[in-house]
Structure 1
Amino acid sequence: MISVEEAHRIVMDAVRRMPSEWVDLEDAPGRVLAQPLSAKDALPRFDNSAVDGYAVRSEDVLNASPDSPVSLPVVATIPAGSRSPGRIARGEAVMILTGAPVPNGASAVVMKEYTERRNGTVGIRRSGLPGEHIRYRGEEYGQGAPILESGAAVTPPVAGLIAALGYNRIRVYRKPSIAVILTGLELRSPGSRLRIGEIWESNSFAISSALRAMNLDSEVIRIDDDLQVSKDAVAHAIANSDVVITSGGISVGEYDYLREAFHAANVRERFWKVAQKPGKPVYFGTRGSKLVFGLPGNPVSAMVSLFTLVRPALATMMGIDRIQGPVVGARLAETLSKKPGRMEFVRVQLERTGSGFAAAPAKGQGSHMLGGLAFADGLYRFPQDADHVEKETEVEIELLQWSLI
């Protein structure tokens, strides 16, 4: 049995980034750039108005005020998208809309709120300083400027920026294909009628939901506890997927066949059993660049192992450098105790206090108690060799953020 830290190191040493592929920009959010992007043109592309108002020469309205407005003839109107902004002469004003190109000769835009339109003239009731409410060409980025590095996450604002730079297709890291194998003779679909000894199956829904939160799809394969069926399912999953995740069938029970099925599929076992709670009987193996994770069948054990071991691997495969979820500091709301020898992932709920956060164990810490995880805000990593941690101790809580970006 190895430590959590050693298990994490072994997994991450085996991970390789996926190859890149071209995608349409509309399909890029949630992905990671596999190429740097520079400005195709200056941004903004031309001098334009930041507000609705009137373009003027600032010297013409230098002394304008509410008590002494300056009256100027309005010689044109320039809407957004106009291709011909024209020129403004001394003593003239041009009505201009937000985003419209500023006419040559104009040095300021006075907001509409500080003007009064009368027939063909406008009364300007405040001065316009040179450059006021004008967005100048290239003030954000010059043409050819490097903007985004390879490895940048395509968040919604980044997708908008990429579009503003003129790109409609970009190169990103490919998403790994994933197969999820569920075992258990006692498992039945939610909503079905149960007989004695049967339970509604939840792990496939929890695991596939977690993967969808990571912007990943998966093939879910449900099998009975049978050796040949297990071998066939594992062979199919490895042949058609980059990552195989199983739940159940990996411990030492009479009907736990998956470890034998992995061996039959020529999977190289990297470790089996980690000094952690929940999730001790967790398995990791590889076949070439393909990753195989055998998660326990207990729901909380499966999900905690998915979050702490599988999620970082998937993030790295997709080109994401930040593999740990966000962490916040908190004070323990009560003293914690356990037997030394295993790291314990304590599911905690956070409460904001006057001095920060207080972390209290969620009700239901058993490996079968999904409610404790469902209502938890984060995980506290109770050190392997510790037997207690005092109340009010300052600790780090890893927030249970399932998304990768």
Structure 2
Amino acid sequence: METMISLERALDIVYEQVKPLGTEKVHLAQSYGRVLAKDIEAAIDMPPFDRSPLDGYAYCAQASDPAPLTLAIVSEIPAGTWSERELKLGECARIFTGAPIPQGANCVVRQEDTEPLGDRVQINQPVRPRANVVYRGEETKKGDIVLSKGELLSPAGVGLLASLGVEEVEVYQSPKVGILSTGSELREVGDSLTPGKIYNSNTYTLQGLLMEAGCKVKVAPFVADDLDETVAALKALEDMDFVVTTGGASVGDYDLIRDALEGVGCKLLFWKVNFKPGTPVAVGIKGDTLYFSLSGNPAAAVVNFELLVRPALRKLKGRKLPERTFPVYMDGDFGKSGKQRRFIRARAVFRNGEIWADPSFAQGSSVLRSMKGSHLLIDVPGGHGPVQKGERLQGRWISSWEED
């Protein structure tokens, strides 16, 4: 087991153990938030015919057309219909948004630029050939790769597939993740607090983060700082892809999670990662199941999750693993300095095309409120000294703010 390793080394170890899950076919309506397991190739042109993007009149424009121009209305083409009549010079068709361009027409003039004259229309501002026509295949051509393996299916992506007539998609299976919070100080929400007790918030925070990440979540009842109880709770989660625990990860007499992991046959891969908050994080493996032991301090547990669990989930789900960091400018000071690398929670401020980070929240490892409204984790190198306003550092998105 390695100890006190860098975040980069910890991620390398985790990635070595994670293999993407199997795949399954699902109906398009059930594909939101899933990850594509294969490229999607367009089976048709989109649009499948030349169409009008607006309400107006279709006709054959000529460079020599006078202004105004008067044309005979010989047909009407609503969306969803098809006109077999070919237009001749001097003729036009009343056309509506989404309707197919009739034969003989090469443009559409806006209704606002015309005046009706019974069975004729006066075009006050004639348009040029090809104006206001969306041509067949302009958006997508048959055979184009429209979505790639490893992409998250957003609502827009699902809508794109629907427009191409795709009914089923092959996606990676959703991860099954178990949650276990430990600590004799914990009480369940709804119970009354007694002296020395606190409510169990970590389970609810982690459950939300995992659900947001598209996981199937199994929540084990929290346990006290008791080795036998912790081992029994972990055994009930052995059918999960990942298990995430909080509490009991440090060095105190009641920090039992590493002993409990070994008690269920788990091999510890590392313990302690060289950053704050959340240094005493541990990761182990048993069979194909990875176990993440996070800090019991609420804010530190979220930082642990964002830096280690979420990247592992991306690979497990078949996602691409993009570069996660980008430059940010500090919009406030952070007075602490220390030997260890530190991740500051901050709100993103967009100014003149740049990302600025406002760290004006309490930054203690137990201050969960600091995560609310935070969009960024700012990477402050070890030994850096106090952070100054205007300083340029590296940042990474938190949770759903991450680029997909």
Question: What residue ranges of structure 1 are gaps of 5+ in the alignment?
Answer: none
Deviation at 1:177, TM superposition (A): 0.5
Residue 220 of structure 1 pairs with residue 215 of structure 2: no
Mean CA deviation greater in 125-134 or 326-335: 326-335
- Residue 65 of structure 2 is matched in structure 1 by 63
* Letter of the structure 2 residue corresponding to residue 109 of structure 1: V
Q: How does 1:152-167 map to 2 (within 5 A)?
A: 152-167=151-166
* Structure 1 pair 143–347 and aligned structure 2 pair: CA distance change class (3 A): closer
Contact 2:332 2:360 in 1 (8 A): no
- Contact 2:299–2:367 under 8 Å retained in 1: yes
Match for 2:341 among 328, 340, 343?
Answer: 343
Query: TM-score if structure 1 supplies the norm length?
Result: 0.91
Counterpart residue identity of residue 221, structure 2: R
Report how far residue 22 of structure 1 moved: 0.9
Provide the aligned length of Structure 1 versus Structure 2.
Answer: 399
SS in 1 for 2:5: coil
- The equivalent of 1:194 in structure 2 is 193
Deviation at 1:338, TM superposition (A): 2.4
Is 1:229 the counterpart of 2:232? The answer is no
Give ranges in structure 2 of 5+ residues lacking alignment: none
Residue 93 of structure 1 pairs with residue 92 of structure 2: yes
Q: Is the 8 A contact 2:348 2:357 kept in 1?
A: yes
> Can you list the C-alpha shifts for 1:214-265, whole angstroms capped at 9, x where unaligned?
2323111123223222112211212x21010011123333333322221122
Q: Report the Cα offset of residue 139 of structure 1.
A: 2.4
Q: Quote the offset at 1:156 in angstroms.
A: 2.2
Farther off after superposition, 146-155 or 112-121:
146-155
Describe the SS at the equivalent of 1:261.
Answer: helix
Q: What is the correspondence of 1:265-284 to structure 2 with a 5 Å cutoff?
A: 265-284=264-283
TM-score relative to the length of structure 2: 0.91
Could you report, residue by residue, the CA deviation over 1:184-225 in whole angstroms, capped at 9, with x for unpaired residues?
222122343211111111111111111222232311112322
Q: Deviations over 1:81-128 (max 9, x none)?
A: 113443212321111111111111112111111111122221122223
Distance 1:110 1:209 in 2: 51
Taking a change above 3 Å as real, the CA distance of residues 95 and 392 of structure 1, as seen in their structure-2 partners, is: closer
Mark the CA change 1:164 to 1:180 in structure 2 (over 3 Å): closer, same or farther.
same
* Amino acid aligned to 2:235: A
Q: Aligned partner of 1:153: which letter?
A: L
Q: What SS class does the counterpart of residue 49 from structure 1 fall into?
A: coil
**SS state of the match for residue 342, structure 2?**
strand
Cα separation, partners in 2 of 1:355 and 1:324, compared to 1, 3 Å = closer
State whether structure 2 residue 104 is matched by structure 1 residue 110.
no
Identity of aligned residues (%): 34
| Distance (whole Å) between structure 1 residues aligned to residue 112 and residue 350 of structure 2 | 43
Equivalent pair of 1:245/1:295 in contact (CA under 8 Å): yes
Asked if 1:382 is matched to 2:380, the reply is: yes
> Structure 2 CA distance, aligned partners of 1:265 and 1:148?
42
Q: 1:321 to 1:84 in 2, by over 3 A?
A: same
**Quick check: 1:38–1:144 contact (8 Å CA) kept in 2?**
yes
Structure 2 distance, partners of 1:355, 1:338, is 29
Give 1:318 shift.
1.3
Q: Is the 8 A contact 1:38 1:147 kept in 2?
A: yes
Distance 1:112-1:311 versus aligned 2 partners, 3 A rule: same
Give 1:317's aligned amino acid.
L
Equivalent position of 1:54 in the other structure: 57
CA distance, structure 1, for counterparts of residue 347 and residue 138 of structure 2 = 46
1:274-297 per-position Cα deviation (integer Å, ceiling 9, x unaligned): 222111211101123321101111
What whole-Å deviation, never above 9, does each CA across 1:307-352 have from its counterpart, x for those lacking one?
1111111011112224565634203633644231x21112234555
Q: Which residue of 2 aligns with 1:302?
A: 301
Letter in 1 for 2:9: E
Counting only pairs closer than 5 Å after superposition, residues 311-350 of structure 1 correspond to structure 2 as: 311-323=310-322, 325=324, 327-331=326-330, 333-334=332-333, 336-340=335-339, 342-350=340-348
